[in-house]
Chains A and B, each alone.
Chain A
């Protein structure tokens, strides 16, 4: 587990890590810089929000003018959604807002201490601000960006070339987990269970926080469809160029390898209920 995206980028480039979940624009920027990696799948859809202080003066997007907003990276969808939301309200994020980069685990404390006025971040940090009581969601990403993407699965090209079967196993597992989390009629039960074991054994966070993030409401974060779609990424590339973090547009095929998502199409949800020995 890492605490920030820049460290993940370094670990991937040095082959300490062979695959990584990272924000989509960072993966695209890496590829544009010639780093041999490809996006093979998505981590989730939605699950990002802009949060302001609960008792503060910001009640609508136009109130963000002149304020300080934290984002996880200049290469993040959380930054792009701010540009998009402000543009929809007749503003320009470059001129009307000061954006600072901050590691995701630090934003809640920074907002509580009034070091920033708002943050744009993925879950569970918006939930954390709501649960503790000092934060209020100004808007969720879905309000300005249908089918919004944040984290994607990136794999080193040498691993794709030499071990495609291992990459397929990884993508199949993520696809099955996503279907399990979104399974009709059982989604809430599965999400509560996932919040418990992911909170305790992987994220080392209070499971209460993940329970909130995964069920308030149930589609706050979605895990289907996770196949990388051309139109979604063309939107991201266009916004990256417009906002000055990418010199020129690069073609979809150059940074996405869709064969593993295609290979996972026939997958079904894990057969697993709390208390089972293992998933089948």
Chain B
């Protein structure tokens, strides 16, 4: 039982770490938490001229 819990926990930690590296844009998250005066503007565009 203990082995099973350890394996599931390790799997969850690995999946969480992979998700946070691959899918989370940390630059954007950190920027959104800066004081407004220091924040970079988010500029939207589509891939056309």
B47 touches A21 (CB 8 A): no
Segment 78-130 of A: residues with Cβ below 8 Å from B: 104-105, 121-125
Residues in B with CB closer than 8 Å to A1 are 45-47
* Contact (A221, B44) CB under 8 Å given A162-B36, A163-B36: no
Instruction: Name the distance in Å between B8's Cβ and chain A's nearest Cβ.
Output: 36
User: Which residues from A are CB-within-8-Å of B45?
Assistant: 1-2, 8, 20-21
Q: Which of A249-279 contact B (CB under 8 A)?
A: none
User: Can you list, as one digit per residue, whether each of B7-24 has a CB less than 8 Å from chain A (1) or not (0)?
Assistant: 000000000000000000
B27 interface contact, C-beta 8 A: no
Chain A count of residues within 8 A CB distance of the other chain: 41
Q: Within 8 Å of chain B (Cβ to Cβ): is A241?
A: no
The answer to whether residues A11 and B44 also contact, given A162-B36, A163-B36, A163-B37 and a CB cut-off of 8 A, is yes
Candidate in B41, B45, B46, B49 with the most chain A CB atoms within 10 angstroms: B49
Contacts of B34 in A (CB 8 A): none
Once A163-B36, A163-B37 are accepted as A-B contacts, the answer to whether A122 and B42 lie under 8 Å apart by CB is no
Contact B48 A159 (CB under 8 A): no
11 extra interface residue pairs, beta carbon distance < 8 Å, beyond A1-B46, A204-B47: A1-B47, A17-B43, A17-B44, A20-B45, A21-B45, A43-B49, A47-B49, A104-B48, A121-B48, A122-B49, A124-B47
What is B's interface to A at a CB cutoff of 8 Å?
Answer: 36-37, 41-49
